[in-house]
Structure 1
Amino acid sequence: MKIIFTDYPFFLLPPIVQSGMIYYPIIAVLGILANVISIVILSRGKCGLSKCVSRYLVAMAAADLLVVVIDVLLFRINHIYFPETFLFITQVCAFHRALNHAVTDISVWLTLSFTFDRYLMICCHKLRSRFCTEETAARVIATVCPLLCFKNIPWYFAFEPKISVHNVAWGCNVKQECLIEPTWISFNWIHRCISPLLPMFLISLLNALTVGHILMASKVRRNLRGSKNTTNQNDAELESRRNSIILLFAISGNFIMLWMTYFICFLWAQITTRRYFTGLSDPSLIADETSYMLLLLSCCTNTCIYAVTQSKFRGELKSGMKYLWRMMSKCVKEGF
């Protein structure tokens, strides 16, 4: 039914398969641990972040966790190591593909929502008291998630069985009409524009506007402080803005860089009109798989960003590790 890569010696497999067999398990372990840790620490509300920001970051971590579980663990690792499980029954496979698109879209649009919230907070003083609240964040999250799930329902109907075994349909092949019918082609373009083209453009635009506002406000503030002969004093407001912009740029910049290769590969496929790969050594396949590896890496890096940019997050992380070490030591001692 499928090529079972584990039946062959590792050194005889194509490099892209060898990379996947090593890379995806590492991403699964790191992604699950990193996002669970982020959810636990941020949910405690002791990182010095506003409740609004914490709500967005927890939602983003939860979405990234779902991407790691659904895409990396249940699809890519399953495809390599367990290619004949029930997940490859056509109905299950089609549902899984649609769900995979949905959680990926949710992860992308929550990043955009967070960027827009920070833009309002920093640049729009008249609107921030109304929209930059925990209640608004909850409403945005509760709206984005079901809408994007609904938007990806058509993907369930885009696949057909590869083979039938004992009257059970197995595998997921993209239907031929999805490649040639204008309706499906338009849907595919809309899907790619909604995620990631439009979010990438909006995130870049919002970041540019935010930077311009901060530079102008900082210049004015320094001039005012200089006229009062207080230039040697620490400016808490400027320090707060600096921390906010570091966190914002680290998250959104990381998203754009790791998604860029994926979008370039999609554009190249549309320009060249290639629909199939010639084999596992096809350069186009290698580029496509590499773009997915980078895309999935973005679901594991936010915890590192929090740890690098937020001192209180680092403190909570260290406290948690010390607590786990104490518990493990206690269990070991009691065991003996």
Structure 2
Amino acid sequence: MSDKPESNDTDPQDPRILIPGSEINPRREFLRSAALFTGTVAALGGGLEILTRRPGAGSAEAQGTDFVRPARLLGPYDTKEAVTPYQQATTYNNFYELGTDKADPARNAGSLKPRPWTVKIDGEVKKPQTVDIDTLQSWFPLEDRIYRMRCVEGWSMVMPWLGFPLAGLIRRLEPTSKAKYVQFTALLDPKQLPGQRSNVLDWPYVEGLRLDEALHPLTIMAVGLHGKVLPGQNGAPLRLVVPWKYGFKSIKSIVKITLTEKQPQTTWMSAAPSEYGFYANVNPAVPHPRWSQATERRIGELGRRKTLPFNGYADEVAGLYKGMDLRKNF
């Protein structure tokens, strides 16, 4: 997610659609059931066809329907909260490369071409290489994760991602002893990404993690959403997902991953260093300079709810920051 602040109360793009309680649980169970099929088939060698083929006219993908999948149990990191419906998850987005209005990414995503696509991996690794996205996906069984997602602007969703742990990729490439951080770079192509024709940010979009954050089992590289191929507006064909951090850390449409000895200078740190720090951990006790972070607005709900430290993942990740001043290292 990117970070142009929105009003907490009067957002003209706010899709505050109440979902009747009678519909939430059946849909949630359907989505949970839908979330296994691709990961299961991928583990057997067939899931890549689902995630990489171009949808034909009349196909389930083209019609925007969910693939039917066997039921599964919730994983150790899945939230039990109601999943944000596909329509809202794909039409209320921050992706400045496709425009700064919430509706722009969905409106402009057709210009983004996720195939052919390669990812360059270099820096402090013993096996630097450039790999095709389909080959990259084939290296790992795909897993589904139902994660909270909290935007720095003060709104949130619950997203059913499909992807693989970043740790598996990093270990496969064998980091050197000098590797301390991971830098991610997004696609730079104004023809595909019309938002890059403006100077609202310094392109290409760059983000970074400390190596131990990147290796944490919660950190994934997503290639799917809601049981479907990852839509352009959500960062196709490959995006980072770090659920305990504000959404702008989860960079979209990645073309390069670089392991470095020095902390990367990220895009939002460059744009507004007093407002956006390197860590960007969800912290209700540390307000943004222009608004409180103590509460959030869940898309699809009226009112506001309390923001959870580390977005509800404190038990899993707080130890990464032991001894750090989380106000200074915001």
* TM-score under structure 2 length normalisation: 0.21
Greater fraction of residues in strand: 2
* TM-score under structure 1 length normalisation: 0.21
Greater fraction of residues in helix: 1
